[in-house]
Amino acid sequence: MEITLSAKQKEILLREYERDYEAYLTFGGGEATIYFMGTCSGMAFVLTKTGIATDEEIAKIQEKVEKKLEEKRNKPRIED
């Protein structure tokens, strides 16, 4: 199955996936983490199966978020 979307609609969906993936990685466990884990898995499945995004695009988003969080984690909290 393939769905046709505008570039803007695709961008919005991928941005939402990125936001939810970041939330999944930053919540400290519990029900919220499980919710976002399920949401991300479902979104990735639907986005790839409908042809909206490729596995590579999803992986790129995940790498981007993980790198952003790593940089944030390594940044000093108090600056001179």
pLDDT at 2: 63
The predicted pLDDT at position 74 comes to 85
pLDDT (0 to 100) of residue 39: 95
Buried b (16+ CB within 10 A) or exposed e, 1-40: eeeeeeeeebeebbeebbebbbbbbeeeeeeeeeebbebb
- Digit-coded pLDDT (tens) for 20-53: 999 999 987 889 899 999 999 999 999 999 999 9
pTM, two decimal places? 0.83
Q: Percent of the chain having pLDDT more than 90?
A: 70
